[in-house]
A and B are shown apart, each in its own frame.
Chain A
C-alpha cells in the first residue's frame, strides 16, 4: 500500500516536472542576477539603498520585457559586513546558483575578498560603489566614481578656498589608506602640506583625542574619510567641541547621508564631489526620485550607492543587448568599441574601454548650517582617465591588479 502510494506520487512528480520544463522552455528561463549587499550589520544603513535600487531596476526592466526578451531574477544574499561571508556567498552564487552576473560588495575590503574568486570564473562582476580606484581587472566593471573624479576636483578646490594645510582622518583599511595616499600625492602637486594623518580602526566611536590632535596641528581644513556608523560619531563630537573647521570628503553626504542622520549643524561646512546626491534638481533626477519614492516611501535618503546600483542593471542590459550575448567576452567587445553608454538620471555615462570604469558628471556640493545642500561647482563629465594613463589597458592585457600612486604597473 505504502509503496504504491510512493510510486504514484513519484510518477505524478515526473509528469509535473516534464510539464514545468516544457513551459519554461517556451519562455526562456530568467537571467540570474547575483547580488551581495549588506542589509544587516554595521553598514546596513548604506547597503539597504543598494538592494532597493537593484530591486527597482529589476522591476522596471521586467515590466518592459526584460533583457534580450528574458525576464531577470534577483538572487540577493546578505553577507552582514563579514568578508568571510562575502567569499562564501560569492562561491555559492557562482558555483551553485550559477548566476549570469554578480553585482555588489560594499567596502573595498569586501570587493578585494571576492575578486580573486570571481577571476577564476568567466562571470562578469559589477562593483557599484565609488572607491579608491586602481583596479585593473577584465572581470570587473566599476560603476562608481574614482579619485580622478572625486579627489582631483575636491582637493584643489578646498586648497584654493580654505588653505594649504590639511589634516586627514581615515578608516584604517585599504579604502582609507589608499585614499590618504591620493591626498598626499595631490597635495604635493599643489604645494600643500599634510599636517596630520590619523587612521582609525573600524568600530572606534570616541574621538576626543583626535579632535584635540587636530586643534594642535592647526589645519585649514580636514579630509574626513572615516567609514561606518561608529566612526561617523566624529562629526557629532567635533561639533560639540566647537572644532568648526571646513571638511572635505569623497564619501560623506551623498553616500552616508550624515546630514540626514545627525542633527544640524554637525555636518556644517562639509564638502564633497559626487555624481549623485538626492538634492540634484534636474527633470531626469526628479523623475528617478519619484519612481524610487513611489516604491520605497520610507527611504531616509537615496544615496549614490543605491543610485549606482540602479544604473548598473541598465548598464548590464545595454551591454548584453548590444552584444546579443550574456557572455563576459561579448560584453567586453561592446565596451572595447567605446560606445558602452546609457542615459542615467545624472546624464550620459559611458564605460572606458581601457579600465572598464565609468565616466560621471561630477558636482562639488557643500553643506550649510541647517544641513542644506548647495552645488558649488559643476565639473561636467569627467572620464576615469588615470588607469589608462599609467598603462592599464584591458583591451590588450588583463592585469588583475589594483594600482595606487605608489604601486604602478611595471613598464614593459
Chain B
C-alpha cells in the first residue's frame, strides 16, 4: 500500500518538476515582462547542449549544469540587448522576432553540430519500494524545481532588485523617474528567464535524446503553465503546476499518455474560459 502511495507522490513530483522547470524561465519573460518568447525552447536546448559538451570534456555534471544555466543567461542578456529591447511596446512583433531567432538557432545547430549528439547517461542511483524501482535523479529534479520556486520568490519579493524589477514591470516610466535603471533591469530579468530555461535543459539533458529541436517538447507545457498561472507569476505558476500535474498524473495513470495530454489541455481551456486572468487572479483577490 505504501508503495502505491509513494508511487503516486513520485509521479506527481515528476510531472510537477517538468512543468515548473520548463515554465520558470518563461514565467519571468512572458508572465512578468510580457515578451512572447518563442525562442524559449532554444534556451532550453542551449542549456542541454552546453551541459553535454562540458561533461564530455570531463567537467563533473553538477558544475556543467550550473555553467550551462549561466551560459544561457548570458546569451539571454545579449539577446535582450540586441533584439528583444526593441519590441517592448510591440508584443506581437516580439513574437515574430523571437520565432525567427528560434528558427535560425535550430537550423544553425543542425548545420554546425549535426542532427543528433550522443547522450551522457542519467547519473546512477535507483531505489526499490514494493514491486517498483525508481530513478533517484527524478527526485533530484523535483528538489531543483522546489528550489527554483523558492529562489524566484526570494529574488523578486525580498531583494532590492526584486522590488525595482516589479516596479519596472508595472510602470517603467514611474520607476525610471524614481531612479531605477530600467534598461538594466529588463536585461537582467530577461537574463534570469533565459538562465532558468537553460537550467531546465541542463537538468533534463542526461535523461533525453539530444537533437536541435528538443526544446519543442517543453514549449507547450511551459506556455500552458504560465497562462494558467496568470498575471501574477510568483503566485500563479506554482499553483498552476500543482493543479495541472494532478490532472495529468491521474489521467496518465488510469488512461495512458494520450488521455493524460488531452485532459490536461482540456483543463487549460476550461480555466482560461472561467478565469481569463489565470489562477493568480483568484489568489490575489482573496489576499486583498
Please report A residues at the B interface, Cβ cutoff 8 Å.
39-42, 44-45, 48, 172, 198-201, 203-206, 208-210, 212-213, 215-216, 218, 229-230, 232-233, 236-237, 239-243, 260-264, 266, 298, 300
B116 x A205 contact (CB < 8 A): no
CB contact under 8 A between A236 and B110, given known A208-B10, A242-B133, A262-B121: no
In whole angstroms, how far apart are the Cα atoms of A264 and B124 in the complex?
A: 12
CB within 8 Å for A205 and B11 given contacts A262-B118, A298-B114: no
- Decide: A209 and B122 in contact? CB cutoff 8 A: no
* B23 CB within 8 Å of chain A: no
What per-residue 1/0 map shows which CB atoms of B198-230 lie under 8 Å from chain A? 000000001111111110110000000000000
Q: Are B122 and A233 neighbours in the complex by a CB distance under 8 Å?
A: no
CA distance in complex: A40, B256 (Å): 30
Q: Is B15 an interface residue (CB 8 A)?
A: yes
CA distance A345 to B132 in the complex (A): 45
Q: Does B120 make an interface contact (CB < 8 A)?
A: yes
Task: Decide if B119 is an interface residue (CB 8 Å cutoff).
Answer: yes
Task: Decide if A229 touches B209 in the complex (CB within 8 Å).
Answer: yes
- Interface digits, B50-68 against A, CB 8 Å rule (1 contact, 0 not)? 0000000000000000000
Pick the contact of A203 from B131, B217, B252 — CB < 8 Å? Answer: B217
A28 to chain B, nearest CB (A): 36
Asked if A261 and B119 sit within 8 Å, CB to CB, the answer is: yes
**Bound-state Cα–Cα, A294 to B201, Å:** 36
A237 contacts which chain B residues (CB < 8 A)? 122, 135, 207
| A208 in contact with B208 (CB, 8 Å) | no
User: Cβ of A198: which chain B residues have Cβ within 8 Å of it?
Assistant: 256-257
Which B121-163 residues have a C-beta within 8 angstroms of A?
Answer: 121-122, 126, 128, 131-135, 137-138
The 10 tightest CB contacts between A and B, nearest first, are A263-B121, A240-B122, A45-B116, A45-B115, A240-B135, A44-B115, A229-B209, A208-B14, A241-B135, A209-B252
Q: Is B258 an interface residue (CB 8 A)?
A: yes
Contact A204 B115 (CB under 8 A): no
> Does the CB pair B257–A210 fall under 8 Å?
yes
Q: A209-B257, A261-B119 are in contact. List 13 more A-B contacts (CB 8 A).
A: A199-B256, A201-B257, A205-B209, A208-B15, A212-B7, A212-B253, A215-B131, A229-B211, A230-B208, A230-B209, A237-B135, A243-B133, A262-B209
Given A212-B132, A236-B121, A229 contacting B261 (CB threshold 8 A): no
Question: Is B249 at the interface (CB under 8 A from chain A)?
Answer: yes
Residues of chain A contacted by B116 (CB below 8 angstroms) = 44-45, 229, 261, 300
- Knowing A206-B14, A261-B118, say if A233 contacts B208 (CB, 8 Å): yes
Q: Of the candidates B15, B115, B121, B206, which one forms a contact with A48 in the assembled complex, judged by CB atoms under 8 Å apart? A: B115
Between A and B, 19 residue pairs with Cβ closer than 8 Å are A44-B110, A44-B211, A206-B15, A209-B253, A212-B7, A229-B213, A233-B209, A237-B122, A237-B207, A240-B137, A240-B138, A241-B134, A241-B135, A242-B126, A261-B119, A262-B121, A298-B114, A300-B116, A300-B118
Query: Which residues 4-38 of B have a CB within 8 angstroms of A?
Result: 7, 10-11, 14-15, 18
Whether A201 contacts B258 in the complex (CB less than 8 A), given A237-B122, A241-B126, A242-B126, comes out as yes
Q: Are A199 and B121 in contact (CB under 8 A)?
A: no
List residues of chain A with CB within 8 A of the CB of B7. 212
Among A42, A201, A212, which residue has its beta carbon within 8 angstroms of that of B11? A212
Measured CB to CB, the nearest residue on chain A to B257 is A200
Contacts of B213 in A (CB 8 A): 41-42, 44, 229
Q: Is the CB of A215 within 8 A of B261?
A: no
Contact, CB under 8 Å: B206 / A236:
yes
Most buried by A among B135, B206, B212, B216: B135
Chain A residues near B170 (CB, 8 Å)? none
Distance of A40 Cα from B253 Cα, bound (Å): 34
Q: How far is the CB of A81 from chain B (nearest CB, A)?
A: 9
| Chain B residues with CB below 8 A from A48, complex form | 115
- In the bound complex, residues from chain B placing their C-beta under 8 Å from that of A263 are 118-121
Chain A residues closer than 8 Å to B207, beta-carbon distance: 233, 236-237, 240
Residues in A neighbouring B15, C-beta threshold 8 A: 206, 208
A234 closest partner in B (C-beta): B209
| B131 smallest CB distance to A (angstroms) | 6
